[in-house]
């Protein structure tokens, strides 16, 4: 099977990443922008997510009523996602139909309408989405945890934004954000699938290279100070289930510490799914926390979360407390397990098993042409594509000494946030 990967930067600063995969007559195109909730000021939280919504509301060439029908008619699927560090738009289509997706993305990079009525319509949609999330215990708890963990860094707020900001932002705010960040010099176009590289690059040049570059987009650069003392918080709300979360500041994806941290996650909670849009398939029933918490009926579930980010974010553990036990008991068991793994040291054999699981989970999330297109741009948002290609190699190099060092450096009790969601027994 021939797989060819190339990278090119156009004269306007647009980076183009192409990966030929001739296994099926499909192509997946991803357009990434280096803008996410990290780039939002207080008063405009949620603006990146809102602008993403507005990209589906039409251009003069592609009115709102035409877009979805056009993609569906040609047998394609499309979506978009806004996250902490980035926003991305994707289309996966039959290989002979992908030109529609390329034309669409080039057009809405500069010609999105931001019609006033559509802005107000989306305000209602997003507020409803926000209100629905607030009925979810884990959303409430996670939001409180982020706010506690980040006092100055803009990772402190949820991607969807604060309700007060969603109520007050105007069309002009959204359009200014769009004009500032949706520029070719702040974007990466990634295409994976069944195509000839030279022809694809020529077509992308034809469609995108005439779009003028913008100025250097502003960035909020505020480093989070080191935590001093354990932060304990409680959240009360509807439901009947108690949840416990513990979170520590974790290394950014580009930090060498990220890879031993990934192995620690696999040891403690089972391997995380780094690909947010597909993958998984590896059970965590052999993990230390499953054995210590679920098998002993202290918890119903126990899972970890390590997310690839541009700046240091969080490593989190989420526990669904058993109905007959207390969150404090689950927390004590968690602390015992972390203490045990630190004091007893981890064997080469256990590390090898955890690495094997993490690598398998990674492979599951990299199988399809859509996921290959995803990884081209995703890794570029916080590092470079070699991060993806060398991922399993770097995991395999993790040593017991590194595990012990990372445990001492990051999983420190007086530098963590602990949150408990107490249900009041009411209906959500």
DSSP 315-336: EEEEEEE-TTS-HHHHHHHHHH
- pLDDT higher than 90, residue 271: no
Q: Check if 3-208 and 231-423 are the same fold.
A: yes
Task: Please state the rounded mean pLDDT for residues 194-214.
Answer: 98
For the domain covering 231-423, report its CATH number.
3.30.830.10
DSSP 192: E
Q: Is the pLDDT of residue 276 over 60?
A: no
Domain ranges of the chain: 3-208, 231-423
Q: Which of 40-49, 200-209, 254-263, 347-356 has the lowest mean pLDDT?
A: 347-356
Q: Are 392 and 359 in contact (CB under 8 A)?
A: yes
Does pLDDT of 81 surpass 50? yes
Structure tokens that stand for 16 in this block: 């183009």
What DSSP string runs through 218-277? P----PPPPP-S-EEEEEEESSS--EEEEEEEE--TTSTTHHHHHHHHHHHH------TT
What number is the average pLDDT over the span 106-119? 97
For tokens 């394609």, what's the residue?
76
Strands 77-82 and 3-9, sheet pairing: unpaired
Predicted confidence (pLDDT) at residue 358 exceeds the cutoff of 90: no
Beta-ladder partners of 4: 20
Tens of pLDDT, residue by residue over 408-421, are 999 999 999 999 99
Phi/psi class of residue 280: alpha, beta or left (left: φ > 0; alpha: ψ in -120 to 50)?
A: left
Band (2; pLDDT cuts 50, 70, 90): low
- According to the CATH classification, is domain 3-208 in 3.30.830.10? yes
Most confident of 243-247, 262-266, 336-340: 243-247
List, for residues 93-103, the tens digit of each pLDDT value: 999 999 999 99
Q: Does residue 423 contact residue 239 with C-beta atoms inside 8 Å?
A: yes
Please determine, for residue 30, whether its predicted confidence score (pLDDT) is greater than 60: yes
In the predicted structure, residue 267 carries a pLDDT above the cut 50? yes
pLDDT of residue 127 exceeding 70, the answer is yes
Sign of CA dihedral 168, 171, 172, 175: positive
How many other CB atoms are found less than 10 A from the CB of residue 68? Answer: 11
**pLDDT score of 356 more than 90:** no
In this prediction, residue 283 carries a pLDDT of: 65
Q: Give yes or no for a contact between 246 and 337, defined as CB atoms under 8 angstroms apart.
A: no
Report pLDDT digits (tens) over 145-195. Answer: 999 999 999 999 999 999 999 999 999 999 999 999 999 999 999 999 999
Confidence label for 278 from pLDDT (cuts 50, 70 and 90):
very low
CB atoms within 10 A of CB 211: 21
Tokens of 118: 């559509």
CA distance 212 to 184: 7
Average pLDDT over residues 318-340: 97
- Residue 279, pLDDT score: 47
Above pLDDT 70, what percent of the chain?
Answer: 96
Q: What pLDDT does 354 receive?
A: 82
* Other CB atoms within 10 Å distance of the CB of residue 412: 14
DSSP label of 40: -
Q: Cβ(91)–Cβ(104) under 8 Å?
A: yes
Distance CA 230, CA 30 (A): 41
Query: Higher model confidence: residue 419 or residue 396?
Result: 419
Can you give the pLDDT at residue 90? 97
| % of the chain exceeding 90 in pLDDT | 81
Examine the pLDDT at 347 and tell me if it is beyond 50.
yes
Share the mean pLDDT of the chain: 93
Strand pairing class (187-193; 26-33):
antiparallel
pTM of this structure: 0.94
| Number of Cβ atoms within 10 Å of the Cβ of 32 | 24
Q: What would the mean pLDDT of 199-224 be, rounded to a whole number?
A: 95
Q: What is the pLDDT of residue 3?
A: 65
What is the number of other CB atoms lying within 10 angstroms of the CB of residue 310? Answer: 18
Give residue 11's pLDDT band: very low, low, confident or very high (50, 70, 90): very high
Under the phi-then-psi rule, with left for phi > 0, alpha for psi from -120 to 50, and beta for the rest, what region is 83? beta
């Amino acid at each position: 099977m021939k797989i060819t990967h190339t990278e090119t930067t156009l004269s306007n600063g647009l980076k183009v990443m192409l990966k030929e995969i001739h296994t099926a007559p499909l192509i997946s195109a991803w357009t990434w922008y280096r803008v996410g909730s990290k780039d939002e000021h207080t008063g405009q939280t949620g603006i990146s997510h809102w602008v993403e919504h507005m990209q589906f509301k039409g251009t003069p060439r592609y009115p709102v009523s035409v877009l979805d029908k056009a993609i569906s008619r040609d047998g394609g699927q499309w979506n978009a996602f806004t996250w902490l560090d980035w926003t991305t738009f994707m289309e996966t289509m039959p290989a002979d139909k992908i030109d529609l997706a390329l034309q669409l993305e080039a057009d809405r990079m500069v010609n999105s309408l931001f019609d006033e009525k559509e802005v107000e319509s989306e305000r209602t949609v997003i507020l409803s989405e926000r209100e629905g999330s607030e009925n979810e215990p884990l959303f409430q708890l996670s939001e409180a945890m982020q706010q506690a963990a980040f006092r100055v860094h803009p990772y402190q707020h949820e991607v969807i934004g604060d309700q007060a900001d969603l109520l007050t932002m105007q069309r002009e705010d959204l359009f200014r954000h769009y004009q500032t960040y949706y520029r070719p010099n702040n974007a990466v176009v990634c295409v994976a699938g069944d195509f000839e590289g030279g022809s694809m690059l020529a077509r992308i040049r034809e469609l995108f290279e005439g779009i003028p570059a913008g100025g250097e987009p502003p960035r909020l650069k505020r480093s989070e100070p080191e935590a001093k003392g354990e932060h304990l918080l409680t959240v009360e709300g509807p439901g009947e289930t108690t949840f416990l979360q513990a979170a520590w500041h974790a290394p950014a994806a580009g930090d060498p510490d990220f890879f031993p941290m990934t192995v620690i996650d696999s040891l403690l909670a089972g391997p995380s799914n780094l690909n947010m849009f597909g993958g998984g398939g590896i059970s965590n029933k052999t993990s230390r926390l499953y054995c210590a918490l679920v098998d002993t009926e202290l918890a119903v579930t126990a899972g970890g979360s390590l997310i690839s980010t541009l700046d240091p974010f969080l490593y989190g553990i989420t526990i669904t407390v058993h109905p007959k036990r207390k969150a404090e008991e689950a927390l004590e068991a968690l602390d015992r397990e972390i203490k045990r793994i630190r004091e007893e040291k981890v064997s080469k054999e256990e590390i090898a098993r955890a690495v094997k699981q993490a690598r398998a989970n990674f492979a599951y999330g990299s199988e399809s042409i859509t996921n290959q297109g995803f990884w081209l741009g995703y890794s570029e948002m916080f590092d470079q594509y070699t991060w993806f290609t060398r991922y399993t190699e770097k995991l395999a190099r993790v040593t017991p000494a590194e595990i012990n060092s990372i445990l001492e450096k990051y999983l420190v009790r007086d530098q963590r946030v602990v949150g408990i969601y107490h249900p009041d027994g009411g209906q959500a």
